[in-house]
Amino acid sequence: MTTDGTGAATRPPFTSEPDQGDAGGPGRLDRWAHRSASVPFRLKVAFVWIGIFLVLGFLFWAAAFDRGWIRDNIWFIARGLVFTLAMAAFGIVLAVVLALVGALGRLSRNPIAYGISGFYTSFFRGTPLLVQLFLFYLAMPRTAANLFDRFQNFLPQGFDDFFIWTSFQVGVLVLGLNYGAYMTEIFRAGIQSVSHGQSEAADALGMTYRQKMRRVVLPQAFRVVIPPTGNEFIAMMKDTALVSVLGQSIESMELFRRAQLLGNADVKPLEALVTAAGLYWALTAIFTFFQSRLERRVSRGYVRAAPGGRRARERGKVVVTGSGGGERGAPSGYVLDAPESPEVPLGHTHAGGTGVEGASDPDGEAP
Amino acid sequence: MTAQLNGRAVVRVENLHKSFGDLEVLRGIDMEVDEGQVIVIFGRSGSGKSTLLRCVNFLEDPTSGTIEVSGIRLEGGHRTHHKREQIRRLRTRCGMVFQQFNLFPHMTALQNVREGPVTVKGLEARAARAMEPDVMLFDEPTSALDPELIGEVLAVMTSLATEMHMTMMVVTHEMGFAREVADRLAFFHEGAILEEGTPAQIFEETRYSETKRFLDAVL
């Protein structure tokens, strides 16, 4: 890295520069800035990172950092990543489901649906995640047990035991509920980003609410919602560490807890916590990388000559779409020849088919 | 499915009123469109043309009055559960072409048609086959297009009318199209039909000064 010709070689020998004092004219700083301009920005940033790591490394060395301890224990701690990933994976699935239902509730004119989703988002966004974890881990089984005592004759056997959950189960539930509440707003915005004309066209086709949402609105909303959902997943992976506070059952051998237990036992808190932090960091770095690729991919869908579009063109097909097509001047969902295939081959549509794509362009070449 | 409708009105609008708050947009519209007929509705912006069209398939709920499409007869006013289902049935009898086109600004019109929402492709074609509307509603289909495309769209509409004998309600200011294709024209003025007649009656024997003034401005 430092041997890069344009980089290190052109770095000026800063300290050996004679002091220009107040001689006037272009001073030392000006010349420094001038030479620095030839170094690529990213390379400079890399130097900054290296510098930070060197400083930290020196501090750790000075603090008698025990690398051997990390070597001995990192694999044990790293096995906690399975817990982290599993909990975040289940949690995000639950969160997506809740966010979808919550968003539809927030957009509903039904007072019950609106009220419930409003309470849900308000409570889970308005209270700390840590409090929610304890609420479901400790208070929920207590409540169930008390109810069972009082209404023993009406409640089924084992009602109280049913609500004693492991910390893993509580973690999935609470992370899902909490993130679902935040993601409700993301999903609501995503649904609202689909133009009103699309949903009106679906109405005009005589679709039910369910059909309209499932077939027209939600597929377009998901395009908007996928990148922020990935971000939430990454954030959730880090918040799984909070579940480590919920007792010591075998499921709670979560990454952070493993690090803490080992670190405390050997009195190596620095080593243990640095290991835990490094593992979380590596995990999120990997997913952030995929996330940025995903975002580029999703945004590409709206750029001219997108791959999907090109493939569609090569097949030489044109499709009469009701909601989309209707807005583009085509009769809503109405194909003149009512073809067998859902896709109408270009040039075989009656009198120009959709009305806009025009029979004047039978070879399918865009002007 | 159109055979048993022969000679009968496909669309029947009776004493239709529509208000948005205090604003009365439609003040008692009566209109019948027979099978295979093309009726062109024109008039100034805000005269209620589009609202009438949107009331026919209940994209707007009429305040009062009656709408009948292919024998499905519905009163205005509040939606009941039963009525909602009826509205859905009525809508499957109507095709609609919208005023705002939502074209992607960075694509040509051709691409816009081809690259329609991928996700709805199959569905729309299925819906279309199931549909074959009894009446097509056109809400200013050419108002957002460039001149070349206007010609193409009008050509398709003309062939729909003359070759397919589609029943059509068309809100447009394309008076050339109206003169050639329409069986009847209705001039809207302040939420009511001021003048209605054949193209010859409207263009040659204009009765009202408002109609005359509007035609002079458009032609």
Each residue's pLDDT tens digit, A227-255: 899 999 999 999 999 988 887 665 557 88
pLDDT at residue B159 is higher than 50: yes
- A356 vs B37, higher pLDDT: B37
The mean pLDDT of B28-33, rounded to a whole number, is: 93
Residue A269 has a pLDDT of: 87
Residue of B nearest to A330 (CA): B97
pLDDT at residue B155 is higher than 80: yes
Question: Which residue among B103, B123, B136 sits closest to A331, beta carbon to beta carbon?
Answer: B136
Residue A340 has a pLDDT of: 36
Residue A270 has a pLDDT of: 87
CB contacts < 8 A, A to B, total 186
Alpha helices in chain A (DSSP H): 28-36, 41-62, 67-78, 80-106, 111-126, 129-134, 140-150, 159-162, 167-193, 196-204, 209-211, 218-239, 255-266, 269-300, 307-314, 323-327
Residue B9 has a pLDDT of: 87
Name the A residues in 149-208 with CB < 8 Å from any B CB.
Answer: 195, 197-198, 200-201, 203-208
Beta-carbon separation of A319 and B88 below 8 A: no
- B113 vs B99, higher pLDDT: B99
Quote the DSSP letter at residue B174.
-
Beta-carbon separation of B128 and A216 below 8 A: no
Confidence of residue B178 (pLDDT cuts 50, 70, 90): very high
- A236/A241 Cα distance (integer angstroms): 9
- A192/A257 Cα distance (integer angstroms): 41
Residue B123 has a pLDDT of: 39
Least confident residue range of A92-96, B90-94, B98-102? B98-102
Q: Which chain A residues contact residue B107 at CB under 8 A?
A: 304
* Closest C-alpha among B50, B10, B45 to residue B29: B50
Beta-carbon separation of B102 and A327 below 8 A: yes
Residue A342 has a pLDDT of: 36
Beta-carbon separation of B110 and A361 below 8 A: yes
Highest mean predicted confidence (pLDDT) among A109-118, B130-139, B150-159: A109-118
Contact A37/B at CB under 8 A: no
Average pLDDT, chain B: 81
- B104/B157 Cα distance (integer angstroms): 23
Q: Which chain A residues contact residue B121 at CB under 8 A?
A: 319, 321, 342-343
Residue of A nearest to B127 (CA): A333
Contact B116/A at CB under 8 A: yes
Beta-carbon separation of B128 and A338 below 8 A: yes
Residue A184 has a pLDDT of: 96
- A332 vs B200, higher pLDDT: B200
> In B89-130, at which residue ranges do the beta strands (DSSP E only) sit?
94-97
Least confident residue range of A316-330, B57-71, B90-104? A316-330
Share above pLDDT 90 across residues of chain B, in percent, rounded to a whole number:
44
Q: Which chain A residues contact residue B155 at CB under 8 A?
A: 351-352
Q: Helices A269-300 and A80-106: crossing angle, nearest 10°?
A: 40
Question: Which residue among B106, B120, B141 sits closest to A321, beta carbon to beta carbon?
Answer: B120
Least confident residue range of A47-51, A242-246, B32-36, B214-218? A242-246
Residue A160 has a pLDDT of: 81
Q: Which chain A residues contact residue B128 at CB under 8 A?
A: 320, 322, 333-335, 338
Question: Which residue among A206, A304, A329 sits closest to B107, beta carbon to beta carbon?
Answer: A304
Tokens of A235: 């954030």
Contact B78/A at CB under 8 A: no
A56 to A52, A63, A259, A336: CA distances (angstroms): 6, 10, 20, 72
Beta-carbon separation of B97 and A366 below 8 A: no
Residue A35 has a pLDDT of: 80
Q: What residues of chain A score a pLDDT lower than 70?
A: 1-26, 248-252, 299-367
Residue B67 has a pLDDT of: 93
